[in-house]
Amino acid sequence: MLSAESSCAAVLITMGVLLGRLTPVQFLLLAFFETSINVLVEHYVFNILHINDSGRSLSVHSFGAYFGLAAALVGHKKNVMEMDEHGGIHHSDLFSMIGTLLLWVFFPSFNAAIQEPEDARHRAIMNTYLAMASGTVTTFMLSSWVDQLGRFNMIHIQSSTLAGGVAIGSAANAVLYPYHAVCVGAGAAVLSVIGHAWISPRLERTFHIFDTCGVHNLHGMPGILAGLLSIGFAYFYEPESYGKTWVFK
C-alpha cells in the first residue's frame, strides 16, 4: 500500500510540471508508463543499491520532477513560450495555499511511514518538523529580499515552505542533532527560492522547459540535496551513536 502511495505521489509530481498542457488521455498514458518505471527505480534504489531513502526524496520527489521535466522538454511547443507572463490569480493562490497547509501537516507522516524501529520513526517526525519550520522562516525572509519591491511572493510561500520536508526526507531517520535538521531546512528553502527567482526563468529561455508549478524547485533540487545529505550523514554519524533509544546528545 505504501509503495502504491509513493508511486501515485511521483505521478502527481510529474503532473505538476505538465499541468495545463496535456489532455486527460495523455496524462493517463503518462501515469501508466511512469508507474512501471517508478517501481523499477524503487527496486533498484532499495534492493540493489541499498540506499537510505526513507522519505522517498530520491525515488519519488526527484524521480517525479525530472521525469516531468524530460517529458516537458520532449513535448515542448513553441506557442507555450510566446506567453509574456506566467502568473496566478487571487482565488487560485488561495486554493493553492490550502494545499500547502495540508502538505505541511502531512509531510512528517510521509517521511516516517516506513521507519523501523520506533525511535527512527520519532526521529523522522521531529527532524521533518524542524526542517520545515526553519525552511518556512527562511522562505519568508528570502522572498521579500529577492522581490524588487520587497513583497512576499505567493509562489515562494506556496512552494518553498515545503522544500525542507523534501530535503530532510532521505536522512530523516538518521539525523541525531536538531540543529542539523534546522540547517537542512534553511538550505533547502534558499535553494528553492533561488530556483524560482533565477533558475526556472533560465530553463525557460535556454532549454524551453516550462515548469508549470515550479516542481523542479520544490521536488527536483531539494530531492537531489536529500540524496547528498543521506551520504554525508552516513559518514558523519557513528553507528554507536544511535543505540536503542531516541536520545539527542
Question: How does pLDDT run across 18-58, given as a tens digit for each residue?
Answer: 998 899 999 999 999 999 999 999 999 999 988 889 899 99
Q: Is 190 exposed, middle or buried (0-12, 13-18, 19+ CB in 10 A)?
A: middle
pLDDT the model gives residue 246: 46
Give me 44's grid cell.
Answer: 533498484
219 and 62 Cβ atoms separated by less than 8 Å: yes
Q: Domains plus CATH for the chain?
A: 2-239 (1.10.3430.10)
Give me 98's grid cell.
Answer: 490550502
Of the candidates 47, 59, 222, 12, the one whose C-alpha atom is nearest the C-alpha of residue 128 is 222
What is the distance between the alpha carbons of residues 48 and 109, in angstroms, rounded to a whole number?
26
Question: How does pLDDT run across 91-134, given as a tens digit for each residue?
Answer: 677 788 899 999 999 899 999 887 878 888 999 999 999 999 99
Question: How does pLDDT run across 133-146, given as a tens digit for each residue?
Answer: 999 999 999 999 99
What is the distance between the alpha carbons of residues 198 and 65, in angstroms, rounded to a whole number?
18
Is this structure's pTM higher than 0.85? yes
